[in-house]
Amino acid sequence: MRRLIRKRSEKAGLPPGTLVYVGEKKVEKVKISIIDYDENQITEKAAATIEECFPFKDKPNVTWINIDGLHEVDIIEKLGSHFGLHPLLLEDILNTEQRPKLEESENYIFFVLKMIFSVDKDEEMQAEQVSIILGPNFVISFQERQGDVFDAVRDRIRKSKGRIRRVGADYLAYALLDAIVDSYFSVLENVGEKIEDTEQQLTVNPSTQTLQLIRKLKNEMIFLRKSVWPLRELISGFQRLETSLVQQLTGVYIRDVYDHTIQVIDTIESYRDMISGMLDIYLSSISNRMNEVMKVLTIFASIFIPLTFFAGIYGMNFENMPELSWQWGYFGLLGFMAIIIIVLVIYFKRKKWL
Amino acid sequence: MRRLIRKRSEKAGLPPGTLVYVGEKKVEKVKISIIDYDENQITEKAAATIEECFPFKDKPNVTWINIDGLHEVDIIEKLGSHFGLHPLLLEDILNTEQRPKLEESENYIFFVLKMIFSVDKDEEMQAEQVSIILGPNFVISFQERQGDVFDAVRDRIRKSKGRIRRVGADYLAYALLDAIVDSYFSVLENVGEKIEDTEQQLTVNPSTQTLQLIRKLKNEMIFLRKSVWPLRELISGFQRLETSLVQQLTGVYIRDVYDHTIQVIDTIESYRDMISGMLDIYLSSISNRMNEVMKVLTIFASIFIPLTFFAGIYGMNFENMPELSWQWGYFGLLGFMAIIIIVLVIYFKRKKWL
Amino acid sequence: MRRLIRKRSEKAGLPPGTLVYVGEKKVEKVKISIIDYDENQITEKAAATIEECFPFKDKPNVTWINIDGLHEVDIIEKLGSHFGLHPLLLEDILNTEQRPKLEESENYIFFVLKMIFSVDKDEEMQAEQVSIILGPNFVISFQERQGDVFDAVRDRIRKSKGRIRRVGADYLAYALLDAIVDSYFSVLENVGEKIEDTEQQLTVNPSTQTLQLIRKLKNEMIFLRKSVWPLRELISGFQRLETSLVQQLTGVYIRDVYDHTIQVIDTIESYRDMISGMLDIYLSSISNRMNEVMKVLTIFASIFIPLTFFAGIYGMNFENMPELSWQWGYFGLLGFMAIIIIVLVIYFKRKKWL
Amino acid sequence: MRRLIRKRSEKAGLPPGTLVYVGEKKVEKVKISIIDYDENQITEKAAATIEECFPFKDKPNVTWINIDGLHEVDIIEKLGSHFGLHPLLLEDILNTEQRPKLEESENYIFFVLKMIFSVDKDEEMQAEQVSIILGPNFVISFQERQGDVFDAVRDRIRKSKGRIRRVGADYLAYALLDAIVDSYFSVLENVGEKIEDTEQQLTVNPSTQTLQLIRKLKNEMIFLRKSVWPLRELISGFQRLETSLVQQLTGVYIRDVYDHTIQVIDTIESYRDMISGMLDIYLSSISNRMNEVMKVLTIFASIFIPLTFFAGIYGMNFENMPELSWQWGYFGLLGFMAIIIIVLVIYFKRKKWL
Amino acid sequence: MRRLIRKRSEKAGLPPGTLVYVGEKKVEKVKISIIDYDENQITEKAAATIEECFPFKDKPNVTWINIDGLHEVDIIEKLGSHFGLHPLLLEDILNTEQRPKLEESENYIFFVLKMIFSVDKDEEMQAEQVSIILGPNFVISFQERQGDVFDAVRDRIRKSKGRIRRVGADYLAYALLDAIVDSYFSVLENVGEKIEDTEQQLTVNPSTQTLQLIRKLKNEMIFLRKSVWPLRELISGFQRLETSLVQQLTGVYIRDVYDHTIQVIDTIESYRDMISGMLDIYLSSISNRMNEVMKVLTIFASIFIPLTFFAGIYGMNFENMPELSWQWGYFGLLGFMAIIIIVLVIYFKRKKWL
């Protein structure tokens, strides 16, 4: 099981704003990539040092700085001091156990949220923290490892698909949020398939393994819910922000991503209901099968135990047992036994056990 | 099982506003029908191309354009650009996995909602997305396939039943919403009958099949709830709109359809309660029946196993077994066995097992 | 089982305001009774036709028109057009599946609510719809059949008990609401007694019949809840109305009936809790009894199966079985068997199975 | 089981404000006691008739009139008319099934609440209704029987402990509320002990009696919850009152009693959780024990039934059974049986049944 | 089990503001320590008497007075009267069963909250009450025993780590709250590990002990929830305070500790979900195992009971049993038995019981 709280206690006692990366190191080297664009031109570069990003701060173009890998704390620190970010905010970026939230300041808006993915269909879900800072003409995004969720956005910028090159940094931030929320749908489809498989197993042949599947699904939904639920608040907060950083036209797009978030949450709740129903069904079908087993036992035992008793009677060695010397005693007993069998079979048929 | 999320992920990465139809193609050819009416006259026509609808936009009469089938994306696109609809809205029309919602803009009000129906009583429920656009003097409705829910409205327009011909486009939009909400009642009656049937099975002869029925009902209610619940918000939003598109007199009708929606939701919740109770009853009656089976086994075994033991005793071949040569040994033993049987029968009667 | 939604779908497709009575015909003939009173005088009459009620509309006295039986739609229609009632309101009166609600208009206040009663203690609960219209100086009430709930109010008017003759129509409307809410208490007492009986059965001798009782109680509470819950909203809405139809002094009485409604709802919730607890207790005691049965079986089988085996051994016909010819072989074996019995009895005592 | 609604229906149909005592008569004679005090002096007397209380109404001192026993309706009536109390309020005092509530009027504040106590630890909880009227310089309290909860307050007045003699009637009303809320804590401690006892039984030796204990605890918590929950609203309403009857300094004390009420409610909820958990544990341990029983049976039966079969084989009387005449046939068979036993024992050990 | 309410009733009847320590005496001697600091200098001392603290009240530096041990009531009393604290507040400090809350007064802010810790991983959780008073330039904290949670804060003050020496008393109060909330994370990690262990047990080999573990975890979560849930309200109240005691810059830090509190509560809720799921899994796997046991029994009994019957038949002593004298009768019977075994084995294989 994935622990819900991890290494959080390592930080206990440190003054707030102390920068400690609490996650595991997921990439070898921190990768910094810069995309600078306006409607007419685009510049893309991979920065070797964080200092290369600094000149872009004051250029009028929209600049997107993406940082993959969080374990080199001083990079974050330098970036923070150049772009004027609050130490608590930097701490939140590095504390990958952060609850999704939105933080507004005078010069920027800060988002922390979770990217959920499962490497493989049968693997457990994993969560990665993504932080996004939206400034007047720049967006800085932080990921724990190199992901492909943002590739589609990158592509749209390069090929100037849709409105993205014609509008400001706020639209870019929206596009990143949207890409993350969109990625939840594929996770949910995955879960949906698993639920379908498990339901089929449940109908056809429920086993201990089915129980384990249900248990895993249940825990996954708890995990997913914990990661996605706060997003609702985050995006509705984004919608209500009164700031010059967000242009009015972007409003309708934010409402769109809000709708998607609600839909994700609705689906999670429906899945939770379904999975919890599956456990009841499981218990019922186990009981059902026990009933079957018991009926077989009872039928066998109830027919043959009395018969064995009668055979036992005439296996006794009493000297004075008149039936033993009757000409048709043996065959008479066999007939009597046949009658008992018939009576019991009728009795069990009536009880619908046969 | 119907998946709750379907093909949604296909769209991941596309810029917002990209028009992709995510549903299945449910009709061969897109069918466009136009009804144009005022109090005195009515024109009905089936349009071959979408361009035929365009002139109606600026006519003072009320025009209802109905489009069955969503797979020809360019029809939607042309319509959108002529009537000035936002690309995100067009995307919502085509994305048939949309959550029911109301979107207000300066020139029109946009509704997405679900039509629920079951082709056959024993079939699974199906949902179809319906989008309605209410403009100053027109209503445009989109359905995935040709349905009969709107036929009654069409009929009322043709025969000028009720107020419909005397009032504006807002009343027409209300009438369509009302027709959809009304159709939920027949779905719920259907569910009610199924619940009744299942309850009867539960009382008379619960089987594995009963369990499957309960499971299906449960999932159907989850599905129904997910589709209907957001409607409450939608219609209460419609009620609160302050727009010149809705005349004041229509308000009382909207309140009426709101009441119906609440009643649908109440009934769904009550059904959920009932179905969840049925599962408990099922489990209890399975346990009860197991008890019955066990009692039969126990009575048989407890009576005949001891008797067989006594028969076994006198079937032994010891040379020195004085009882064997007693004159009345055999009959004495039979009498002793009869006493054992009587004692045990009394014992089980006392325990109320017989 | 009582269906929660009944015949509602018959109305699908009809224009709103179409008058159709959806309930069953519960009385032979519609009965119209009029009581007209002020502090000094009282006139009571049974009207043969609805037209006889019309003159009372504009008289300064308080007039109470009570209509039992809803199947003659034109009576309702005439009344509606004379008293200026909205067609949707008339539709609600006839649609006996209506959710309890309050509707305010300029000239009157309209209440729909449910009267719950059980003809007989062991019978299922039944609900009847009651509609009340409060005008400036009249109250019109509609019932599906002749009831006795309003008799006490009639009596108070006739005998001028309490304030009723000295105050206006709003107090009369309050008195009718109060009579209905009061009638819930007797239904709840009835339920309370049933719960008590079932709990006793549960303690003494739970059977399949007990399970059926619990199931019925559970469904009754779902039904009751669905009928009473909306009342809270209705009466709190009545309290908050700012209308000249309700005099300020009546406020304290409305608050009183509100308190009673809350108490009814509280009690329903408590009963639901209790009933749901009873099902758990039932399941537990079934399991408990199964345990008892299993123990008896296990004790019998575990004692006598080994003994029978030993008897079987010495019933074998091997030529060379030295024990058979021992002088005390038989008695030795009997002694050995006695020891086995003693050991097993001690073992089972230790396990607390005996 | 204590019925949650009692004799309430007796009052159905009576005009509101009719005074009927619905509880049982719990004391022989109504007892009226008066305490009149200011900072310097105190007068205590037991009044023989209610008229003795009347002069205290207009005295500037604080007067506390306590009435034990509610069955003499005319006492309440006279008191009400002298002190100017609304008839509905008097009705609430006598209707001991009243839901806890606060009612504000121009001249006084009226509280109804429940005193909970259990005569004996193993007895069922009982509730008694207490009504308190706070006027400008008097407090009137009504109890169903003579209680000792208010004795501590009486004592503080007599000995002038704390602020009570220096402040007004509002503080006295607070003190009485506080005494009642404090008494809940001892009831809860009692429940806590019972839970502890039951949990121990559950761990050591769960029996049918344990199940009954859990059931009783569950019902008690439902009862307690129903009585205490409305108190929250009552006291928070008291806090928010804007009235000259409550001095500002008393505010901090009311907040204190509010905190206690919340704590009582929190504890009730926690206990409910615990008790509901206990039922699950009970079911699990019953299942567990059944498992134990079944294992014993299975082990015995699986070992001895095959062995008995083999003994049965060689007990047959076929003429041609070569094994019977083998020199070591008997001992060989015994050895073979020993091997079977060993194999089965190993098998069961592996399955961890032994 | 830890009782949720303890010794609370001892105080029943005492006037409010009476100082009684209701907890157990947890330290030998009350320990008073003072830290007085500004940006440049720091004074630390252990005070022998409470009077030594008094001079610090009016010094401009920030002073932190920490008191470990609450059983010497007069110390609290003297402190209270010198620092002008309300008697009810002092009572709350001593009443260690207090619900976490925030109380604002003109001159100070008062916090009560719970410190949770488990001495040992396998030990039960324990709670200790911590009270904090924030005045204009001082903080007074009260603990039941000497703890190490505040040591990190002390250390930061001594070494002037972070901002703590440069800012006011409000930041110190924040730092103490933060230290307590941080300590919850380590408790939750501990719980997380226990859940993981128990889940593993559940998968591998569920036993009665597992059930006890689940029960304990469940009760712990109830306890934890009751202690932490009110904290949300407390800290959000702190955030909303409009007081000169809290500087604006501290706001962002309070929001940070609020986020942590929400995260703690989220995690508790997720754990509750998980634990409640574990109980269902437990029940299911017990049923599963019973099924296994029953199958083994049924297979053994169903195969050997019929065979024993046939052996019994030919063990009878009838004189006229022709089969007995057949040459191949014995071997024929053995063959017949072998066929029965084969048939039954195939039957059970088909049923997937083998």
Residue A2 located in a structural domain: no
Residue E17 has pLDDT above 80, yes or no: no
Mean pLDDT (whole number) for D20-44: 84
Give the minimum alpha-carbon distance from E192 to chain A in angstroms, rounded to a whole number: 6
A294/B293 touch (CB, cutoff 8 Å), yes or no: yes
E13 or A190, higher pLDDT? A190
Convert the pLDDT of each residue in A54-86 to its tens digit. 888 888 889 999 999 888 888 889 999 999 898
- Please tell me the number of Cα atoms within 13 Å of A159 on its side-chain side: 9
Q: Are residues A102 and A237 in the same domain?
A: yes
Q: Are residues B239 and B117 in the same domain?
A: yes
Dihedral angle computed from the Cα positions of residues A186, A191, A192 and A195, in that order, rounded to the nearest 10 degrees? 170
Return the residue of A nearest to E284 by Cα: A283
Quote ipTM for the complex. 0.83
Q: Which residues does residue B142 pair with via DSSP β-bridges, in sequence order?
A: B67, B131
Mean pLDDT (whole number) for B132-149: 88
Judged by a CB distance cut-off of 8 A, whether residue D88 touches chain C is: yes
Mapping DSSP to helix (H, G, I), strand (E, B) and coil, where does residue B221 land? helix
Both tokens assigned to A214: 């249900």
Residue B4 has pLDDT above 70, yes or no: no
Convert the pLDDT of each residue in E335-348 to its tens digit. 998 999 999 999 99
D314/C316 touch (CB, cutoff 8 Å), yes or no: yes
Distance (Å, rounded) from C-alpha B15 to C-alpha A161? 7
Of the candidates D192, D193, D283, the beta carbon closest to that of E283 is on D283
Residue A192 has pLDDT above 70, yes or no: yes
Task: Report chain E's mean pLDDT, rounded to a whole number.
Answer: 87
Residue A102 has pLDDT above 50, yes or no: yes
Task: Report chain A's mean pLDDT, rounded to a whole number.
Answer: 87
Per the rule left: phi > 0, alpha: psi between -120 and 50, beta: everything else, D160 is left
Q: Are residues C138 and C228 in the same domain?
A: yes
Mean pLDDT (whole number) for D63-76: 90
Domain end call among A239, A269, A284: A284
DSSP letters along C51-76, please? GGGGGGGGSSSEEEEEEE----HHHH
Residue E1 has pLDDT above 50, yes or no: no
Both tokens assigned to E133: 């008073």
Task: Report chain D's mean pLDDT, rounded to a whole number.
Answer: 87
Convert the pLDDT of each residue in D235-271 to its tens digit. 999 988 888 888 877 888 899 899 999 999 999 999 9
Both tokens assigned to B269: 């919740």
D155/E13 touch (CB, cutoff 8 Å), yes or no: yes
C344 or D250, higher pLDDT? C344
Residue B2 has pLDDT above 80, yes or no: no
- Locus of tokens 């036994």: A337
Mean pLDDT (whole number) for A279-290: 88
Q: What is the pLDDT of residue C139?
A: 93
CB B70 within 8 A of CB B21: yes
Distance (Å, rounded) from C-alpha E138 to C-alpha A111? 36
Q: Using the 8-state DSSP alphabet, how is residue B107 labeled?
A: S
- Locus of tokens 């936002």: B86
Q: Are residues C73 and C87 in the same domain?
A: yes
Dihedral angle computed from the Cα positions of residues A235, A238, A240 and A245, in that order, rounded to the nearest 10 degrees? -160
Residue E328's Cβ-count burial label (10 Å; 0-12, 13-18, 19+) is exposed
A277/B219 touch (CB, cutoff 8 Å), yes or no: yes
Both tokens assigned to E146: 């000497």
For residue E10, name the pLDDT band (cuts at 50, 70, 90): low
Q: Which chains touch D (3 or more CB pairs under 8 A)?
A: C, E
Residue A121 has pLDDT above 70, yes or no: no
Mean pLDDT (whole number) for C62-82: 90
Return the residue of C nearest to B303 by Cα: C300
CB A153 within 8 A of CB A232: no
Amino acid sitting at position B212: Q
Residue B11 located in a structural domain: no
Mean pLDDT (whole number) for C286-311: 88
User: What sign does the CA torsion over D104, D108, D112, D117 have?
Assistant: positive
User: What sign does the CA torsion over C141, C145, C151, C154 have?
Assistant: positive
For residue E268, name the pLDDT band (cuts at 50, 70, 90): very high
Per-window interface: A 123-162 vs B, CB < 8 A: 151-153, 155-156, 161-162
Question: B14 contacts in A (CB within 8 Å)?
Answer: 152
Residue C5 has pLDDT above 80, yes or no: no
Return the residue of E nearest to D261 by Cα: E99
Q: Are residues A316 and A170 in the same domain?
A: no
Question: B18 contacts in A (CB within 8 Å)?
Answer: 162
Convert the pLDDT of each residue in A128-177 to its tens digit. 899 999 998 899 999 988 877 888 899 889 988 878 888 889 999 999 99
pTM (predicted TM-score): 0.87
Residue E204 located in a structural domain: yes
Angle between helices D151-159 and D169-204 (to 10 degrees): 140
Q: Over the Cα atoms of chain C, what is R_g?
A: 34
Q: How many CB atoms lie within 10 A of CB A28?
A: 8
For residue E6, name the pLDDT band (cuts at 50, 70, 90): low
Domain of D165 in residue numbering reads as: 8-284
Residue C275 located in a structural domain: yes
Residue A3 located in a structural domain: no
Both tokens assigned to C55: 């003159």
For residue A346, name the pLDDT band (cuts at 50, 70, 90): very high
Amino acid sitting at position A66: N
Give the minimum alpha-carbon distance from A278 to chain B in angstroms, rounded to a whole number: 8
Mean pLDDT (whole number) for C143-156: 86
Per-window interface: C 223-252 vs B, CB < 8 A: 223, 225-226, 230
Give the minimum alpha-carbon distance from A155 to chain E in angstroms, rounded to a whole number: 35
Judged by a CB distance cut-off of 8 A, whether residue E282 touches chain D is: yes
Q: What is the pLDDT of residue B5?
A: 58
Lowest mean pLDDT among C23-27, D156-160, E279-283: C23-27
Q: Are residues A329 and A213 in the same domain?
A: no
Residue B352 has pLDDT above 80, yes or no: yes
Residue A169 located in a structural domain: yes
Lowest mean pLDDT among A243-247, E1-5, E18-22: E1-5
Dihedral angle computed from the Cα positions of residues C41, C80, C174 and C105, in that order, rounded to the nearest 10 degrees? -120
Q: Are residues A92 and A182 in the same domain?
A: yes
Judged by a CB distance cut-off of 8 A, whether residue A117 touches chain B is: no
Question: A5 contacts in E (CB within 8 Å)?
Answer: 185, 188-189, 192, 267
Residue E28 has pLDDT above 90, yes or no: no
Closest by CA to D143, choosing from D227, D33, D73, D68, is D68
Judged by a CB distance cut-off of 8 A, whether residue C83 touches chain D is: no
Give the minimum alpha-carbon distance from A141 to chain E in angstroms, rounded to a whole number: 21
Q: Are residues B158 and B179 in the same domain?
A: yes
Residue B271 has pLDDT above 90, yes or no: yes
Question: C210 contacts in D (CB within 8 Å)?
Answer: none
Residue D3 located in a structural domain: no
CB B109 within 8 A of CB B133: yes
Residue A120 has pLDDT above 50, yes or no: yes
Lowest mean pLDDT among B133-137, C247-251, C270-274: C247-251
Residue D1 located in a structural domain: no
CATH number for the domain spanning A181: value is: 3.30.460.20
Mean pLDDT (whole number) for D100-129: 85
Q: What is the pLDDT of residue E147?
A: 75
Convert the pLDDT of each residue in B97-138 to its tens digit. 888 999 888 889 999 999 988 777 677 788 889 999 999 889
D135 or B2, higher pLDDT? D135
Angle between helices C251-313 and D251-313 (to 10 degrees): 20
- Locus of tokens 């839901």: D99
Of the candidates B153, B203, B295, the beta carbon closest to that of C293 is on B295
Domain end call among D245, D266, D284: D284
Task: Report chain B's mean pLDDT, rounded to a whole number.
Answer: 87
Q: Are residues D244 and D311 in the same domain?
A: no
Which strand ranges, in their side-by-side order, compose the sheet holding D62-68? D42-47, D31-37, D62-68, D138-143, D126-134, D109-117, D101-104
Lowest mean pLDDT among B301-310, C3-12, D337-346: C3-12
Q: CA of E63: how far to CAs of E50, E54, E104, E165, E173, in Å?
A: 14, 11, 20, 11, 11
Q: Which residues does residue B132 pair with via DSSP β-bridges, in sequence order?
A: B111, B141
Mean pLDDT (whole number) for C103-125: 84
Q: What is the pLDDT of residue C1?
A: 40
Distance (Å, rounded) from C-alpha A86 to C-alpha C169? 67
Task: Report chain C's mean pLDDT, rounded to a whole number.
Answer: 87
Lowest mean pLDDT among B41-55, D18-32, D43-57, D161-175: D18-32
Question: E192 contacts in A (CB within 8 Å)?
Answer: 3-5
Convert the pLDDT of each residue in C193-214 to its tens digit. 899 899 888 888 888 888 889 9
CATH number for the domain spanning A294: value is: 1.20.58.340
Residue A152 CB contacts under 8 Å (≥ 6 apart), including other chains: A179, B12, B13, B14
Q: Are residues B189 and B120 in the same domain?
A: yes
A319 or D134, higher pLDDT? D134
Q: Are residues B248 and B330 in the same domain?
A: no
Convert the pLDDT of each residue in B156-213 to its tens digit. 899 888 788 888 899 999 999 999 998 898 889 889 989 999 988 888 888 888 888 9
CB A130 within 8 A of CB A142: yes
Q: What is the pLDDT of residue C339?
A: 93
Residue C4 has pLDDT above 90, yes or no: no
Per-window interface: A 169-208 vs B, CB < 8 A: 175, 178-179, 182-183, 185-186, 188-189, 192-193, 195-196, 199, 203
Judged by a CB distance cut-off of 8 A, whether residue B328 touches chain C is: no
Q: Are residues A266 and A306 in the same domain?
A: no
**Domains contained in chain B, number:** 2
A315/B316 touch (CB, cutoff 8 Å), yes or no: no
Convert the pLDDT of each residue in C176-189 to its tens digit. 999 999 889 888 98
Share of chain B above pLDDT 90, in %: 27
Domain end call among E266, E284, E302: E284
Distance (Å, rounded) from C-alpha E86 to C-alpha E79? 11
